[in-house]
Chains A and B, each alone.
Chain A
Amino acid sequence: MASRPELEKPPVIEPGHTYATVTDKISSIVLGRHTPISWFIGFAISFTLFMVMMYAITYTLVVGTGVWGINIPVGWGFAIINFVWWIGIGHAGTLISAILLLLRQDWRTSINRFAEAMTLFAVACAGIFPLLHTGRPWLAYWLLPYPNTMGMWPQFRSPLVWDVFAVSTYGTVSLLFWYVGLIPDLATLRDRSKRKAAQIIYGIGAMGWRGSAIHWHRYETAYLLLAGLATPLVVSVHTVVSFDFAVSLIPGWHTTIFPPYFVAGAIYSGFAMVMTLAIPIRKIYGLEDFITMRHLRNMAKIILATGLIVAYGYTMETFMAWYSGSLFESFMLENRMTGPYWMMYWALIVCNVITPQFLWFRRVRNSVVTLFVISLIVNVGMWLERYVIVVTSLHRDFLPSSWGMYAGTFWDWAIYVGTLGMFLSLLFLFVRVLPMISIFEMRTLIPGEKKDGGH
């Protein structure tokens, strides 16, 4: 990257750090005796929400999906909206870890670990919905191809079956990727922790890592291989998810632009979420040295870029609605912009198209607070986008006689907010028991030190 010297100047780790300081700083968060009170408060709140979700889910399972707002014509509601939203958020992690790794973007190092964790948790949250939204979840395993007494197979033409494979593969690979990345650090924690229990637990996790050259060699190979595997998945998952809509014939769903536009949207929301999490964490745990302004600036630029792609998506939708000359398409758009759900549409435009434009200004990119606010707005915007796509397309389709309205019920909201609780709870646990920043990789960033495995 000699071609772009200005990028090299601002360091990805503040000067004055040595192996020791890095290792201390990060591992102490985990091994430190006293946990900050703020952690307990935060965890308590999010865990409560998590429990709300568990209750709402139980109620839904017992009484039926009828407790939600869905109806005919709007057969999909919050469940699918949230599913797509969470999957989207789940994109940043792998992208950062895999693609930026392959692109040798070493600044990714300090954020990739919890970005990956976030990915896992987001996918976990997403995974709840497809199962739960079926009328008979206890039979959902029929979507899997397995020999059975019915002599039946799944219907492979259905995008929902593709989803099963896409999402499960993505989940598995992300998990492996994240875990493999953790191994050396688990070893570090094993060696540094004073308590037997911790030693054993981390020890099991470390899988007998001794940091020998052969270990490092295999580690590097495996990690690169997984990165190679994960990269196409980043694109494939949301492409397949977008097929759920694109393959159908509903005006507002049936469009070829969906795959690229969904992937871009996913990365968009993913990075927004990373930023939403990174900013408070670096503040609370004083990690400004490791997660530097340069990280935030780079992420801001990516958000701006993907935001523009998403904006282009909206524009093309509008253009095609007019250019297609199809009555259904043009009515769909007119209805989105001026129908009963007009507010959702314009709110989404403000959140996803207008807001990111501020990132053109360096001053905005340098202001942590503004970045935080923008990232939040983008997260909301992306949720609205899914709401608009799912609901406004369905509620007024081909036959006016079947038009209807949709609104989420208490249970819809309970489950949605609940998944936020679950997501945060998992995240809190993660920062408490695992190194949220890759120790050994950080060490490779220390100026003037060349990487080697031992210690």
Chain B
Amino acid sequence: MSSLRDARKPKGPDAPPAKDLRGARYWRSLEEWADTPEFRRFVEREFPENASQWADPVGRRRFLKLMGASLAMAGVGACTVQPPERIIPYVKQPEEIVPGKPLYYATAMPQWGIGQGLLVESHMGRPTKIEGNPDHPASLGASNHFSQASILGLYDPDRSDVIRRAGRIDTWDNFLAELASALEVEAGRGGRGLRLLTGTITSPSLAAQIEELLTLYPGSKHHQWEPLNRDNVLEGAKLVFGRPVETRYRFDRAKVIVSLDSDFLAWGPASVRHARDFAGARRSEDGEMSRLYVVEPTPSLTGGVADHRLALESHRVEAVARRLAANLGIEGGAASVESAEQWIAGAVADLQRHRGDSLVVAGDGQPPIVHALAHAINHRLGNVGSTVEYTRPLGARPVNQTESLGSLVDDMRSGGVDLLVILDGNPVYDAPVDFDFAAALQSVKLRIHLSQSEDETSQGCHWHIPGAHFLESWGDVRAFDGTVSIIQPLIRPLYGGRSSHELLGALLGRPGLTAEQAVRDHWAAQMGPDSEKQWRKSVHDGVVAGTAFPPLTPQLDEAALRAEAGSTTSPSGMEVLFRGDPCVADGRYANNGWLQELPKPLTKLTWDNAALISPAMARELSLENGDVVRLSHGERGVEAPIWVLPGQAARSVTVHLGSGHRRAGRVAEGVGFDAYPLRESDKLWNAAGIQIEKTGQRRFLACTQNHHLIETGLASQQAHDRHLVRETEIEEYRSNPEVIHEMGHEFPEEMTLYPPHEYPGHAWGMVIDLGACTGCNACVVACQSENNIPVVGKQMVEMGREMHWIRIDRYFEGDLDDPRYVHQPMICQHCENAPCEVVCPVAATSHSAEGLNEMTYNRCVGTRYCSNNCPYKVRRFNFLLYQDWDTPSLKLMRNPDVTVRSRGVMEKCTFCVQRINAARIVARNEDRKIEDGEIVTACEAACPSQAITFGDINDSASRVARLKADKLNYGILNELNTRPRTTYLARLKNSNPELADG
């Protein structure tokens, strides 16, 4: 096959070295190109991915199936008799069900034990789509990518469906029997050998059950562990307040915000609410625009929208905090921080100008002292009560989880534990490495693990009990402000899963106890007389009225800071940062294909995690994207591929936890590398003094956006020259409102050969506010869920075949060592003069009378001409049969109102036309017009910062029409006269004039 290889030569590998050629910048990218593994893949494509289809049985099965299918088709084309279909009516039809109409139920998703309010769409008893619950404080109608993807988590075919003992299938009764005998022993000695390990518990009913257990077995202990725990937050509070308190932030009231390595827009139980509040305070029309200062070691979504971002190693953030405090007259003094002084001065000045409506927030990854300093500063600035509120901790039984797990491990080692019950969680995988949890576990006589899938921990336990998904079982959970939501099930457990309540019931000697009883009994007691009425209302609304925690006014003691003073250490060498993965978090979502394939907001990597380093470090160590390095700390080490991320602090290496599972399901296994083996209990968030050495190997990383161009900045440069992303300073905009329009060239509308379209009725359009968009990905997953978009796998992403209808374009602005990020959601622009429409030979993509650019899948023959001719490249093609047509559980998940696309057809954003049609029919049946806001696209509904607005631009009163009239409104590639229906609001910056740099 050498002739083939020869013929492929011109594709770059044999390119002469850069110096021989003109245009240095381009050549760098070529060099990288020529020498990166994806090129090597091209060479190795002698026998490409398809060869592997023979290797693995799945592929072979599909091959044979397709052979049958396509041979059948090939013969007769469309002329086939439809297979006979059956209609199966109810025997007794439930009251509320109208066949064919969806119902919505309120519930809540517990994440790290804390609740996110949801509304779940149900078709004939099948939950199919997650929306936010407008009545829930943490949601206000919005949601995030985790909750959106939880619907796939429910139907995940890899969830375990049988009780196992030591790997063998067993029964619930046998389990109860063995449990009972073990408990008998414990009862004899007050339960000294009984231990319960859970995550953070905010559920009042569950907490009550645990209390009951602890009183029943006084000797027993309850331990809690979350790998991404909030110990620092509580410890920091203890430091200055003497007791753990929760801090509640009001970003809608803050005019100046200083974030000390806090990614409050993307992480934490209130991130969705924070995004909404923050975006509100950023909109220029309502008075003063807030200003955000961020100091952080690794780029975050919050840092991306900062007006002044400072990249500093994690341990130097404390120094900055001290310096801030000192300059605001708080004792505990600090030396100056080189390269940060200007930033600090600016921040201090701004803070002083905004006493009472400023806000300093510290990140979970920062040590307690930084949190303490933040509290002190907020006190000093009089922000308490306005932008900062304190409440009692959310956790029903707040503990330092690291210590809690530590003591459990000690007890296990000393053989003091005979019966260990683990509710959810996967400690064998995610416990600090120095605890060596797996080994300690072995010394426990009877180990029971409740989890939704058989993971590393299940393997280490005697009993594995399939767990119920939150959409399958009753429960309750507190939101970030304490508000309780009743979790109501949407469907019977698909895989016979049990809830924590049930298992605790068994421990309490009430095996028959159902989750529903447990929860209802608890609240019946709480709600008193008219509990039935309250219960119904609470379940219906998704929140239990009046359960939010009242604010506290704890006394702050600055002396504590003095005591802590001078404890700043300045470790040498490089540091490694442990962060939750933006997509699979701490690893709990690792088997969720939607999240695995979701491009990580800043790196645009899919199906992989990497060690993120700064361009400076890359130059210093001559590392390239994909180079596998060994990160070692003492005798511990992991091997990780490198990814160069502009904006990373020079000496910091970021690793995302949650990948490299050994046992978690077909999707998760073998994806990425496991960073936990480097994570020690006293260095949960960052470890200083690590070594990096090149291993010489390389790993291909599937990136969805021109990754071989990042270092060159070519893409971002071009994006800037082409006025794709427009932004300006608020001051400049105020002085000259036309500044945004002056950036591009408008085009005379009549310059087209074809007659203009008439829009007698509605004219649907969309506006996306770049000022509000944080690039959080919620819309991407919401779209995937609403529109039955398939997962294609790493190999296909490598080949540039990802199917997401929403592509969030990410550009760097300014110097690549310290850039700003711009996110631009790119969907079908629904052009008035759509280039795709005129080139389709079969009219499969056409223009509707309401200005939609329609895609008719069943008419498409797949010439891909439309995609070539689309200047926005927002069309996606089913190159292979990407949809899973076999797995029954996934069929249940799909949205019945959207066609499931077959192989060989084009697809793209439709503005959720199924929702438009539904609304139209309802409106007409009720003899009224469609009201503004009645049609909400999936992306618009999900967006936490309300960056997306959809509506009728023919109706001048509609929100979208008003936004399109805004001076900030602009269309992309206007010079092509495509006249997109989707336009963007330019992003406004609010830089501090005192700080020269933007």
Q: Do chains A and B touch in the complex (CB under 8 A)?
A: yes
Q: Is B876 positioned at the interface, with any CB of A under 8 Å from its CB?
A: yes
Task: Collect the chain A residues with CB atoms within 8 Å of residue B90's CB.
Answer: none
B26 in contact with A71 (CB, 8 Å): no
Q: Interface centre among B22, B722, B841, by most A CB within 10 Å?
A: B841
Q: Which of B47, B50, B838 contacts A158 (CB 8 A)?
A: B838
B835 in contact with A341 (CB, 8 Å): no
Specify the chain B residue showing the minimal Cβ separation from A130.
B863
Q: Which of A398, A401, A413 contacts B705 (CB 8 A)?
A: A401
B78 in contact with A139 (CB, 8 Å): yes
Known A-B contacts: A62-B71, A66-B801. Give 8 more (CB < 8 A). A62-B66, A64-B881, A76-B868, A134-B904, A135-B879, A143-B861, A150-B859, A248-B868
B871 in contact with A401 (CB, 8 Å): no
Known: A75-B877, A154-B842. Contact between A338 and B27, CB under 8 A?
yes
Q: Is B563 positioned at the interface, with any CB of A under 8 Å from its CB?
A: no
Q: Is B799 positioned at the interface, with any CB of A under 8 Å from its CB?
A: yes
Q: Is A280 positioned at the interface, with any CB of B under 8 Å from its CB?
A: no
A138 in contact with B7 (CB, 8 Å): no
1/0 per residue B59-86: CB within 8 Å of A?
Answer: 0000100110011011101100000000
A-B contact count (CB 8 A): 255
Task: Collect the chain B residues with CB atoms within 8 Å of residue A64's CB.
Answer: 66, 878-881, 903-904
Q: Is B905 positioned at the interface, with any CB of A under 8 Å from its CB?
A: yes
Q: Is B946 positioned at the interface, with any CB of A under 8 Å from its CB?
A: no
Task: Collect the chain A residues with CB atoms within 8 Å of residue B860's CB.
Answer: 135-136
Task: Collect the chain A residues with CB atoms within 8 Å of residue B843's CB.
Answer: 152-155
- List A residues 69-83 near B (Cβ within 8 Å): 69-76
- Closest A-B pairs by Cβ, 5 of them: A135-B862, A135-B904, A66-B879, A402-B873, A75-B864
1/0 per residue B800-844: CB within 8 Å of A?
Answer: 110000010111000000000000101000000001001111110
Q: Which of B1, B12, B50 contacts A340 (CB 8 A)?
A: B12
B868 in contact with A75 (CB, 8 Å): yes
Q: How far is the CA of A338 from the CA of B22 in the complex (A)?
A: 7
B66 in contact with A339 (CB, 8 Å): no
12 residue pairs A–B, Cβ–Cβ below 8 Å: A63-B880, A64-B66, A155-B838, A158-B838, A158-B840, A250-B869, A343-B9, A343-B12, A344-B11, A399-B826, A401-B705, A407-B45
B8 in contact with A407 (CB, 8 Å): yes
Q: Which of A62, A159, A340 contacts B29 (CB 8 A)?
A: A340
Q: Which of B50, B876, B976 contacts A59 (CB 8 A)?
A: B50
Specify the chain A residue showing the minimal Cβ separation from B10.
A343
Q: How far is the CA of A66 from the CA of B71 in the complex (A)?
A: 17
What is the minimal beta-carbon distance from A183 to any residue of chain B, in angstroms? 37
1/0 per residue A372-405: CB within 8 Å of B?
Answer: 0000000000001000000000100111111111
- List B residues 135-169 near A (Cβ within 8 Å): none
**How big is the A interface, by class?**
35 or more
Q: Is B38 positioned at the interface, with any CB of A under 8 Å from its CB?
A: yes
Q: Is A409 positioned at the interface, with any CB of B under 8 Å from its CB?
A: yes
Known: A138-B77, A400-B714, A401-B715. Contact between A73 and B873, CB under 8 A?
yes
Q: How far is the CA of A63 from the CA of B903 in the complex (A)?
A: 9
Q: Which residues of A contact B (CB under 8 A)?
A: 59, 61-67, 69-76, 133-143, 150, 152-155, 157-161, 164, 244, 247-250, 327-328, 331, 334-335, 338-344, 347, 384, 394, 397-405, 407-411, 413, 417
Task: Collect the chain B residues with CB atoms within 8 Å of residue A74's CB.
Answer: 800
Q: Is B899 positioned at the interface, with any CB of A under 8 Å from its CB?
A: no
Q: How far is the CA of A193 from the CA of B383 in the complex (A)?
A: 109
Q: How far is the CA of A161 from the CA of B842 in the complex (A)?
A: 8
What is the minimal beta-carbon distance from B810 to any residue of chain A, in angstroms? 7
Q: How far is the CA of A410 from the CA of B838 in the complex (A)?
A: 33
A341 in contact with B871 (CB, 8 Å): no
Task: Collect the chain B residues with CB atoms within 8 Å of residue A343's CB.
Answer: 9-12, 14-15
Task: Collect the chain A residues with CB atoms within 8 Å of residue B9's CB.
Answer: 343
Task: Collect the chain B residues with CB atoms within 8 Å of residue A75's CB.
Answer: 864-865, 867-868, 877
Known: A136-B904, A402-B872. Contact between A67 and B48, CB under 8 A?
yes
A139 in contact with B12 (CB, 8 Å): no
Q: How far is the CA of A250 from the CA of B864 in the complex (A)?
A: 14
1/0 per residue B897-910: CB within 8 Å of A?
Answer: 00000111110000
B74 in contact with A160 (CB, 8 Å): no
What is the minimal beta-carbon distance from B56 to any residue of chain A, in angstroms? 14
Task: Collect the chain A residues with CB atoms within 8 Å of residue B864's CB.
Answer: 70, 75-76, 133, 135
A405 in contact with B4 (CB, 8 Å): no
- List B residues 5-57 near A (Cβ within 8 Å): 7-12, 14-15, 21-23, 26-27, 29-30, 33-34, 38, 42, 45-48, 50, 53
A399 in contact with B872 (CB, 8 Å): yes
- List B residues 710-768 near A (Cβ within 8 Å): 714-716, 718-719, 721-722, 724
B879 in contact with A71 (CB, 8 Å): yes
Q: Which of B7, B10, B27, B873 contacts A399 (CB 8 A)?
A: B873
Q: Is B706 positioned at the interface, with any CB of A under 8 Å from its CB?
A: yes
Q: Which of A136, A157, A334, A340 contacts B862 (CB 8 A)?
A: A136
A138 in contact with B74 (CB, 8 Å): yes
Q: Interface centre among B7, B865, B878, by most A CB within 10 Å?
A: B865
A400 in contact with B715 (CB, 8 Å): yes
Q: How far is the CA of A133 from the CA of B864 in the complex (A)?
A: 9
